[in-house]
Amino acid sequence: MEVPDRTQDSPPKDSAGRSLSGERTIFCQPCSSDGDTMVAIGYCQNCNEYYCAVCLKVHCKQAMSRNHIILDGDNMPKVTFPAVTPNACSEICTKHENEIVKYYCMSHDAVGCGDCMIIDHKSCKVNRIQDISTEYFNGTEHQNILKKVEQFVKDVDEINRKLQVSEGNMRQAYINAIKDVKEFKKEIIDYLNKAEREMLEMINERKKKNEMLIQELHQAESYIGRNIKEIHTNLQLQVSQANDLFVEAKQVKAKLNSIDENLNMLKKDISIDVYTFQRSSHMEQMVKSCVPLGAIVDNTEKMVEHTASKHNYLVSKKKVTYQTDLDRKSISEMDAYFDCEINIKTEDDAYDCFVQNCALICPSQIIVIGGNNNCVKLVDVSNKEVSKYNLKYSPQGVAVVNPNLFAVTFPGERKIQFFTITTGNKIKESDMIKVHTDCNKIAIHEDKIIGITNKSVEIMSMSGQLIKSLSHPNMKWLMDIAVVPSSQMFYVSSGSLGYKCCFKIRF
């Protein structure tokens, strides 16, 4: 490293305080790199560098430089050195700790000590580093390395800048997510408080009406009771006097018909309707199914709001959809390739896995039903984990209601069982509904269950009540069903000996 000669207005002094006026002054190079001006008193031939008294003392104490050749006083070179000057090698060999790296093997592009060259590069062309280092300094490889290192420095700075931005985004995302959760919770609580107030107002209004009715009935009962007692008393007073009794009885007879009518009306009105609170099926099912408050989605995912219809089994109004390559490319532009295979057989499976049917929960989760093992499994594609739930009956079809709820058909039992996916990807039984026929495969469309038997399509409510049954002479051995998303259309496939077709049906 070249350090240009420096002069000052006042005569410089060496480390001992002696004036160096009139002499060509050379300064300590390590100190100069720190912005200090100290006169050099020594020169290291190995490092090709000038040192002041303090730096020279440290240099001579360090293990890696204590054996370097030091020139001091008049022995120091007094000429200006080029930017790079060949100097004695000083790097210690990593394989042979007592040897210095002095040689370069061009064939293997490797450096090493004399022992390395004898052992590993006996037949190679070997050069002394001291002979080729000056030429290398101005060579293409060195310049490329410098450029690459400079680019690395820029890349690290850019990464650091992006990390700072990411840290800021992370903190802001955390703050926003917490805020949104609390706001949503408050909205739910406000809604429940409002619903509670409305329900209590209805109950109090019913109570006031019943209280008014009871009060009117008490007044009527009191009035009728007084009349009856008065008549009874008058008849008792005239019991021994035949003439007066006859007259009183005739006068009372007209009143008795009116009293009888009033008594009958009172008996009829005295029966107050007893009312009870009936829970909302939507709210009760939401509590039972442990539906989460929401979902944490990336910016590439979209939350799609669905219209909430009135039915007995809609658990969540929101459905998570994911933006995939299918949204950006047509099928003709895509290539199919093998990604991986997942073994879904578990230790307690009695038989080999036979996939009866499957349904996609999200891009990384699949519901699989196995007929021969009577079970339903949740397969996590990303980490290749399988959660299993054993069933009492043999399953046939499966359909997803929302990201946390799916349904499985049991044709032999004429039942449909709903399952929820809880925290930790565990499967939990929810409600079971009875259906009027043996549905093999099913699909869920908005608030309807679409099931197929061997020869008909059954459209039902989420509680299993039949809405409509569709049939056709060509509908024989219906195999499967597919619903077109965001439309009022679905397809069913039919197959029999010598005849196969697909039916397109609209609601």
The parent domain of residue 170 ranges over 144-269
Please check the confidence at residue 319 and state whether its pLDDT lies above 50. no
Whether 53 is covered by a domain: the verdict is: no
| 263 shares its domain with 301 | no
Whether 409 is covered by a domain: the verdict is: yes
Instruction: Give the per-residue pLDDT at 381.
Output: 84
Top pLDDT among 116 and 275 is at 116
Whether 245 is covered by a domain: the verdict is: yes
Whether 68 is covered by a domain: the verdict is: no
H or E segment at 192? Answer: helix 140-237
Of the residues 269, 284, 311, the one at which a domain ends: 269
Q: Which of 203, 200, 188 is nearest to 283 (CA)?
A: 188
Whether 153 is covered by a domain: the verdict is: yes
pTM: 0.39
203-217 residue pLDDT tens: 888 888 878 877 877
| 311 shares its domain with 181 | no
- What CATH code is carried by the domain that includes residue 421? 2.130.10.10
Q: Report the distance separating Cα 366 and Cα 368, nearest Å.
A: 6
Whether 164 is covered by a domain: the verdict is: yes
Count of domains observed in the chain: 2
Other Cβ atoms less than 10 A from the Cβ of 219: the count is 10
Per-residue pLDDT, averaged over 457-477, amounts to 87
Per-residue pLDDT, averaged over 7-17, amounts to 43
Encode 105-128: b = buried (16+ Cβ within 10 Å), e = exposed: beeeeebbbeebbeeebeeeebee
| 251 shares its domain with 204 | yes
Whether 403 is covered by a domain: the verdict is: yes
Yes or no: say if 489 and 505 are a contact pair by the CB < 8 Å rule.
yes
Q: What is the CA radius of gyration of the chain?
A: 48
pLDDT confidence band for 299 (50 / 70 / 90): low
Please check the confidence at residue 253 and state whether its pLDDT lies above 90. no
Q: Report the distance separating Cα 95 and Cα 116, nearest Å.
A: 8
Whether 10 is covered by a domain: the verdict is: no
| 394 shares its domain with 485 | yes
Q: Strand 355-362 to strand 318-322: parallel, antiparallel, or no bridges (unpaired)?
A: unpaired
HSE on the CB side for 51, CA within 13 Å? 20
- The chain-wide mean pLDDT, for the chain, equals 77
